[in-house]
Amino acid sequence: MKSLLLSVTLLILLANCSGKNAKKDELFNKSDIFWYQKIIKDVKLDSLDKADEDYTSLASEHVASPLLKEALMILAKAHMKNEEYLMANYYIDEYIKRYATKSNISYLEFLKIKSNFQSFKRLNRDQKLLLDTINSSNQFLKRYQNSPYTPEVQTILTRLYLANRVLNENIVKLYKKTGKLKSAKIYEQKIKNSWLNNIKIKE
């Protein structure tokens, strides 16, 4: 009796495993439109991990599909909306590598600046990214003076400079607290030389 129960149990386990494998096999060699529609569905359901997996399948099975272009932008914006900025930047970078042109490069670079700017939740942990984004914003304004995104980048840049000033002030306090007065003076000088000191605020 025991051997019979064991045999039945093994058969059930094997059946379940084969069923799962069959389901996995069903998701191979699908059309590009199948994967694209699945990505759209996953994004609508806020299942971005699944959407990322489906993009991987789309990109690996259909390397020349025109739907890759749309999928990249959809995923970049979806991750930005979900405050997952590292993933958003990954998709923006992929889009730039594959599909950047003279007509859309300013928008793509603006999108990455915006993504980086929105990611600053913990200022003290993002000093390098802050300075890199300031540099990227300045480069954008030099390259694309007539871009429709220039006003927004200017606003972002001003806020980044203000954030950098706050960061420098916090660093001064930290150095003074720990007795590193020479280092504190370096950052005090940076604050003193900042162009923000020339701004007159109307009362």
- Of 76, 108, 140, the residue that ends a domain is 108
Q: Are 91 and 143 members of one domain? A: no
pLDDT-based confidence at 28, cuts 50/70/90? confident
Q: Which two tokens stand for residue 83?
A: 């405050």
Q: Domain check: are 96 and 154 in the same one?
A: no
- Helices 150-177 + 181-192 axis angle, to 10: 150
Position with higher pLDDT, 44 vs 9: 44
Q: What is the pTM of this model?
A: 0.77
The span from the CA of 80 to the CA of 67, in Å, is: 20
Reduce the DSSP state of residue 202 to 3 states and report it.
coil
Residue 107: which of 71, 74, 144, 139 has the closest Cα? Answer: 144
The total number of structural domains that make up the chain: 2
pLDDT in tens, 36-79: 999 999 999 999 999 999 999 999 999 999 999 999 999 999 99
Percent of the chain whose predicted confidence (pLDDT) is above 70 = 82
Nearest one of 95, 166, 152 to 118, comparing CA atoms = 152
- What pLDDT digit, counting tens, does each position of 140-189 carry? 999 999 999 999 999 999 999 998 888 888 889 999 999 998 888 988 88
Residue 80 within a domain: yes
C-alpha distances (whole Å) from 145 to each of 31, 79, 98, 133, 138 are 42, 28, 25, 17, 11
| Owning domain of residue 183 | 116-196
Cα 28 to Cα 62: distance, rounded to the nearest angstrom:
12
